[in-house]
Amino acid sequence: MFSKIQQIDDKVVDNIIKIRSPLRNRIMIAASTAGNMGMIWFAICMPLLIYAPWRPTGVNIIFAIAFTQLLCEVILKHIVRRERPVWKLPDGEQLIHRPKYYSFPSGHTSASFAVVAVTIYRCPFPMVLIVLFIAVMIASSRVYLRVHYLSDVLVGMVLGLLCGSASVSLFDRLVQALS
């Protein structure tokens, strides 16, 4: 089964070059950069943290990102140790720097979809759509830029949604316990 998944992943990586264009390159680099260290999500959290009625949502988003990153970046990547597709490519084919750490699962994607999960539970529908659009752009940029395989991103989505949903429950219990 893993060999079949790797075959599909390799085929996607090999075919990405066919859809590249200067405009797409700039869009995908911008989307990926926005996801670096959760910058876009922390920027979105700032007004939530400032406005008292929305403060719990902002704190829950930060909690979800931290919880997800602990699982994905600190634990899973170092257990699985999957090489990134960009590590196998010549330098001239790279659009961004080569990440130093492992590929599986995608940290950008898992953090992004943890935020999606929290907004589904806590925010009005228009905000959910905006957050979902940003998350999809970040996730797809990681495959487009060939720093992740498709399966890294798909698993990152699932883990992010699960961790984000779990963080809502944990956060609610914590708030109740402290009240």
CATH number for the domain spanning 132: value is 1.10.606.20
Query: pLDDT tens for residues 64-121?
Result: 999 999 999 999 999 999 988 887 776 666 767 777 788 899 999 999 999 999 999 9
Please state whether the predicted TM-score (pTM) of the whole model is above 0.85.
yes
pLDDT at 57: 94
Written as six digits, the tokens of 143 are: 């495959």
Q: What percent of the chain has pLDDT over 70?
A: 97
Does residue 16 form part of some domain? no
Range of the domain at 98: 24-178
CB-CB neighbours of 163 under 10 Å? 25
Question: Dihedral of CA 177/113/74/33: which sign?
Answer: negative
Comparing CA positions, the residue from 72, 153, 164 lying closest to residue 123 is: 164
Structure letter (DSSP) for residue 70: I
Query: pLDDT tens for residues 121-160?
Result: 999 999 999 999 999 999 999 999 989 999 999 999 999 9
The Cα–Cα gap between 82 and 158 comes to 18
Does residue 64 form part of some domain? yes
Phi, psi (5° rounding) for residue 94? -85, 140
Does residue 157 form part of some domain? yes
Q: What is the domain count for the chain?
A: 1
| Average pLDDT score, the chain | 91
